[in-house]
């Protein structure tokens, strides 16, 4: 049965008309007053060029090609393919599948930033590779990561950050990350109960129905804050708040897009029972 915590401060997957709730928790949990950290607090993300070297990015790309074609991982649940065709969309648990990728994350300094932002030690909640091939890469619709992690993984508060490390150039036209700056301060409730084993659908489809903000909520936040399109060369890193509204468009350009995606959660924010789902998701989606 769903365990609706009586003191759940982020109720979602509701059956009534969903609302926009003021975030009761801070964005910056530590006392670091560095301008880069303060900027993260106001915009919900920070961006660093050259977080990893071009060599490291190239080694990770090659590693990924190896993993994508590894027959042992062909039917592994950690490998998610495009709705149409064979192209790999995501490989989960990538830091355990590849020491080269784990080393690249270390090189990026993401964990150090996460500790400064979250004001505590951190652990890896999830790591994955996203690969959006040229011509056929599907979109990721607008969402807050925390909404899913709260509802389906039992993450109590948005005391987590994601690091996206680019292995290819992100141009405006090849499906870059789009962020609604400032939206991290608003928790967008989503409508509808979580079906059993929802992740089988939600990680594949480009148009998920559950855990998706209403169009009116997205329109209201974009009208208030605009959209930042995050572009840059391979090796750049974007660290963003777990609750900031983001998306990426489809990619019909010939340029593929690949990035490493790592989520750091505060050790003071460990997972509990899901807040709005029958059972926790597998460990490769949410480490416990």
Interacting residue ranges for a second copy, rule: CB under 8 A: 134-135, 139, 141-142, 171-173, 175, 178, 215, 218-219, 222-223, 227, 229, 247, 249-255
Rounded Cα distance between 288 and 283, Å, is 7
CB of 76 to a second copy, least distance (A): 28
CB of 227 to a second copy, least distance (A): 5
Of 249, 242, 44, 246, the closest CA to residue 132 belongs to: 249
Q: Give the single-character DSSP code of 52.
A: S
Identity of the residue, 171 or 273, whose beta carbon is nearer to a second copy in the bound complex: 171
Identity of the residue, 38 or 219, whose beta carbon is nearer to a second copy in the bound complex: 219
CB of 256 to a second copy, least distance (A): 10
Of 156, 173, 141, 171, the closest CA to residue 276 belongs to: 156
CB of 78 to a second copy, least distance (A): 27
CB of 219 to a second copy, least distance (A): 4
Rounded Cα distance between 249 and 106, Å, is 29
Of 80, 110, 108, 107, the closest CA to residue 92 belongs to: 80
Identity of the residue, 164 or 249, whose beta carbon is nearer to a second copy in the bound complex: 249
CB of 148 to a second copy, least distance (A): 18
Identity of the residue, 43 or 159, whose beta carbon is nearer to a second copy in the bound complex: 43
| Burial environment of residue 206 by CB neighbours within 10 A (0 to 12, 13 to 18, 19 or more) | middle
Rounded Cα distance between 76 and 254, Å, is 28
Quickly list H helices, the chain. Answer: 35-43, 54-68, 94-97, 99-108, 110-118, 145-153, 199-202, 215-225
Show the CA angle centred on residue 31, arms to residues 105 and 111, nearest 5°.
5
Identity of the residue, 58 or 219, whose beta carbon is nearer to a second copy in the bound complex: 219
Identity of the residue, 227 or 287, whose beta carbon is nearer to a second copy in the bound complex: 227
């Amino acid at each position: 049965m769903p365990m609706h915590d009586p003191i759940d401060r982020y109720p979602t997957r509701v059956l009534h008309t969903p609302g926009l709730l003021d975030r009761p928790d801070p964005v910056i949990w530590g006392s670091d007053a560095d301008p880069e950290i303060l900027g993260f607090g106001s915009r919900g993300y920070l961006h660093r060029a050259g977080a990893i070297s071009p060599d490291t990015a190239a080694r990770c790309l090659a590693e990924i090609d190896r993993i994508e074609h590894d027959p042992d991982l062909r039917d592994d649940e950690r490998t998610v393919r495009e709705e149409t065709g064979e192209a790999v969309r995501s490989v989960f648990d990538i830091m355990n599948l590849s020491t080269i990728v784990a080393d690249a994350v270390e090189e990026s300094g993401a964990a150090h930033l996460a500790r400064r932002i979250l004001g505590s030690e951190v652990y890896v909640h999830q790591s994955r590779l996203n690969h959006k091939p040229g011509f056929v890469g599907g979109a990721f619709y607008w969402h807050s990561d925390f909404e899913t992690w709260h509802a389906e993984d039992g993450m109590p508060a948005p005391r987590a950050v994601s690091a996206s490390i680019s292995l290819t150039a992100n141009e405006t036209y090849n499906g870059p990350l789009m962020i609604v700056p400032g939206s991290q301060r608003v928790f967008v409730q989503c409508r509808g109960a979580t079906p059993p084993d929802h992740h089988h659908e939600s990680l594949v489809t480009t148009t998920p129905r559950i855990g998706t903000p209403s169009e009116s909520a997205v329109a209201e936040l974009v009208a208030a804050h605009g959209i930042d399109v995050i572009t840059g060369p391979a090796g750049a890193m974007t660290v963003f708040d777990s609750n900031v509204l983001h998306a990426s468009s489809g990619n019909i350009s010939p340029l593929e897009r690949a990035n490493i995606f790592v989520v750091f959660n505060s050790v003071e924010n460990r997972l509990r029972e899901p807040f709005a789902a029958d059972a926790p998701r597998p460990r490769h989606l949410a480490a416990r």
